[in-house]
Structure 1
Amino acid sequence: MEIVNSNSSQLSNYEVLKHLQQLKDGRKKDKRQGQLATITYETLRYLENTPCNQQTPETITTCLKALERFNLSKNEKLMIINLPPTTALEIQLMIEESEERLTEEQVNEILVIVAEHFPHVQKAEEKEEPEES
């Protein structure tokens, strides 16, 4: 295996969505790129139904700054941005050894930070929950 670009980094879902939208808008229809067009279309369709569709560079940046004090890895921050957690269980699944690294109060603080920066996630989940009779 050969390293093509040693400076590459991971992209958030938001960055992938914006890049694919630019490709789609800037590309002329070319029948030779049928499979690429299909993959681009399917990926865009998927990402448009995820929280990243409502994110902005500013909300992502401010959320990451607010999360700095928790000493999270880049991958953990990326997971929080891509799929903003709404419960303590989701945080446990995203953050390695969260029981040892974070107190219950810190987990609640992370949930508050996420809710402040990505309020659309909370609203979407409230719509999905069926009302109890």
Structure 2
Amino acid sequence: MKILEANAGPLTNFEVFEFLRSKDAVKDPTLALLPNIASEYKVFEYLEKSGCKHLTREVINEFLEKCKSFKLSKAEMLNIINIMPKSAVELFPIIEACDTRDDDESTMLNALVAIVKEVLLAGTPSPPPVIEEIEVAHEENGVEADK
């Protein structure tokens, strides 16, 4: 294999996941005894459990198109794609000098979170309900909660 361009730039978790999925080594856990393959297998397992498993190149391109108006840096976009923040609180530390940008901070954050949910998180399964939602459901059904 010939290296066409060394250090072409940072990769998204999706790109790393796709590369590892294309290799046969990570599909066979018995090969994980080899030093390099063991690390690859651990990374593959982590990425398989993360949201990037459900992404496609088309989804990422759609997200990048929708976010052009926010004038985010490449690093900020990469982090948003990798982390897929579900709230403004998760998004705020990703965006450098978020509070000093020209746009209204809360409007920008809420719009970005909406785009993340609409585009990046569209294909991911819903997380399990939180305890409060379970308690409300029990109360509505007449089930007493253990206290």
- Same fold by TM-score greater than 0.5: yes
In the alignment, which residue of structure 2 is the partner of 1:129? 130
In the alignment, which residue of structure 2 is the partner of 1:79? 79
* Whole-angstrom distance in 2 between the partners of 1:43 and 1:112: 29
Structure 2 gaps, min length 5: 136-147
In the alignment, which residue of structure 2 is the partner of 1:108? 110
Higher relative contact order (CA 8 A, sep 6+): 1
Kindly indicate which of the two structures has a greater share of residues assigned to helix.
1
Once the two structures are TM-superposed, the CA of residue 36 in structure 1 deviates from its matched residue by 1.2
Once the two structures are TM-superposed, the CA of residue 91 in structure 1 deviates from its matched residue by 1.2
Q: Are residues 56 and 115 of structure 1, via their aligned partners in 2, closer, same or farther at CA, if it must alter by over 3 Å?
A: same
* Whole-angstrom distance in 2 between the partners of 1:37 and 1:7: 21
In the alignment, which residue of structure 2 is the partner of 1:58? 58
Residue 75 of structure 1 aligns with an amino acid whose one-letter code is A
In the alignment, which residue of structure 2 is the partner of 1:15? 15
In the alignment, which residue of structure 1 is the partner of 2:140? none
Q: Please tell me the root mean square deviation across aligned C-alpha atoms, in Å.
A: 2.6
Contact 1:14–1:53 (CA under 8 A) maintained in structure 2: yes
TM (norm. structure 1) is 0.82
**Percent sequence identity over aligned pairs:** 29
* Whole-angstrom distance in 2 between the partners of 1:122 and 1:110: 20
Once the two structures are TM-superposed, the CA of residue 54 in structure 1 deviates from its matched residue by 0.8
